[in-house]
Amino acid sequence: MSALFDMYKVDFRGPARWLGCVDSYDAAASQIELSAARAPGDYAIVNRQTAERTDLSFGLSVDGRHDHVTPISQQASTAQIGGFRDEEAE
């Protein structure tokens, strides 16, 4: 089975960084959670078949003590997120 979900680290000051691809949304969300534990910030999951994009934001809560994830949106993407991805990683 080919990978269906691309994962990105989003930087609004520059291009998104492609993190890899996996077979399921749950696997993508789990891998992003692990990445966000080391590097909080904004991430995206893109479904290759439907172009549906889910934006996620990881960071500290208002009280500064607890990490949280906030789904920003779940929508069809009309623009390519990060340019070209590395075909050798597939």
Taking the model in full, what pTM does it have?
Answer: 0.66
pLDDT at 11: 84
pLDDT at 83: 47
pLDDT of the chain along its 90 residues, tens only? 577 999 999 987 888 999 999 999 999 999 999 999 898 889 999 999 999 999 998 875 444 444 555 555 444 444 455 544 444 444
> In the chain, where are the structural domains located?
5-81
Q: What is the 3-state secondary structure (H, E, C) of the chain?
A: CCCCEEEEEECCCCCCEEEEEECCHHHHHHHHHHHHHHCCEEEEEEECCCCEEEEEEEEECCCCCCEEEEEEEEEECCCCCCCCCCHHHC
